Structure 1
Amino acid sequence: MAGVILTNHHRGFVFKKILQLALIFSIFGCSDTEQWEPRIERMVADAPTEAQALSFSRGACYGTCPVYDFYIFPDDNFVFIGRAHVKKMGAYRGTLEKGTFQSLVNLVDNNNFLKLSRTGYFGNSHSADATFKCGLYKTDHPSVSIGVQVQESKLTVTHNLGCSDFPDEQVIVKMFSKFEQVVILNSKGLI
């Protein structure tokens, strides 16, 4: 049998090709199938007529409250980004039950989200950030936020869970409970 003899030029060429293949394989072939580096900017129609994304975020407290962001898209896909005190840190994606996005759009639409987003933050009356003052306020509670991305603008309502006894409390609690229910049902093993 004859052996293959490679010149220095051919060795360099072969080495480059092996390096390129290894790089391509590492990008596409060996990646973790669950974790995903998110690009929250999603491809949408040129002239979308409804919200492009909804978000639900849970902030920190002085203890071990879970901290995460949960993005929901019109195609009923979601992105979960675990930040602290969750089972899985980082970004993960998945699919929601068909119609979930639209039902949440209807929920915020039917509960005067535009008015609430103008108020913005429901929290401690002594906080400089609070735009609406609570009747009662208990310390060491996380804040939760709902965001609606409509074309180029984003509307957000943030509620500190220690804030209670205010006029729109039932509406706020209902919306946040529904969003959190969707998150908990669909992020099994993440939170």
Structure 2
Amino acid sequence: MRGSVILMMPLLATLNACATTGDRGGDRPSDASVAAITVSVGPCFGFCPVYDVTVFEKGDVHFSGKRHTAIVGDRDRTVGAAVYGALARDLARFKPADGTTAQVECTAAISDTSSYTITWTAADGRRTVATHQHGCIGGPGKALDGVLAKLPGDLSIADWAKQTTRPGLSRG
């Protein structure tokens, strides 16, 4: 019996090396990876566009115009994974710790401008949120204003998000 066990040890080791234990994650993103980034643009004191835009990791874009936009309602388009990747890189330095909410630092801001809420949604549903007041004249918020200013063009939603004033709609 003892001799049989010793002879089977190399065989068991070989079989164990070939065995799999199910999905090891291979090319699948981890639960902590970001699956989508949403930028919500809030109202200002005037007629600023108010909308949400979500970009998914494969490059699909969902736009939802709320007020003072050329398109009021939902629209979808695809810009490609490379555009998503560029946006994720541009926003990375403003992202708070995973699962938290934080305001992007601004040394001084112009009042009565649009507010921004940037939400990174992980594949597991966990959200990380940064808030920002547009019009920052110093600090990291000034750099974020630059990223956000080019966002509509980068996502090919500039025509949808264009400021449009309609009769009968109030400011804000």
Answer yes or no: same fold by TM over 0.5: yes
Q: Number of residue pairs matched?
A: 132
**Structure 1 residues 98 and 51: alpha-carbon distance in aligned structure 2, compared to 1, 3 A threshold:** closer
What is residue 137 of structure 2 aligned with on the other side? 164
| TM-score of the superposed pair, with normalisation by structure 2 | 0.63
Match of 1:154 among 111, 116, 127: 127
1:68-90 Cα distance to aligned partner (Å, 9 max, x none) = 00000122111000000011111
Gaps of 5+ in 1: 1-46, 123-131
- 1:186 aligned onto 2:169: no
Name the Cα RMSD after superposition. 2.7
1:136 corresponding residue in structure 2: 108
Q: Aligned residue for 2:145?
A: 173
Deviation at 1:113, TM superposition (A): 1.8
Q: Which one of the candidate residues 58, 75, 82 is aligned to 1:75?
A: 58
Any conservation in 2 of the 1:140–1:162 contact (CA below 8 Å)?
Answer: no
Cα separation, partners in 2 of 1:112 and 1:86, compared to 1, 3 Å? closer
Alpha-carbon distance in 1 for matches of 2:102, 2:161: 28
Name stretches of at least 5 consecutive residues in structure 2 with no aligned partner.
1-27, 163-172
| Separation in structure 2 between the aligned mates of residue 176 and residue 118 of structure 1, nearest angstrom | 21
Map 1:2-81; keep pairs closer than 5 Å: 48-49=29-30, 50-81=33-64
Q: Deviations over 1:139-159 (max 9, x none)?
A: 211112221111221111111
Alignment identity in percent?
21
Q: By how many angstroms is 1:170 displaced?
A: 4.2
Larger relative contact order (CA 8 Å, sep ≥ 6)? 2
Which residue of structure 2 lines up, in the alignment, with residue 103 of structure 1?
86
Preserved CA contact (<8 Å) 1:117 1:157: no
Equivalent in the alignment of 1:94: 77
Give me the TM-score of the superposition, normalised by structure 1: 0.58
Conservation of the 8 A alpha-carbon contact between 1:149 and 1:155: yes
Q: Deviations over 1:71-114 (max 9, x none)?
A: 001221110000000111111111114411122222233x2523
CA distance, structure 2, for counterparts of residue 179 and residue 71 of structure 1? 11
1:12 aligns with none
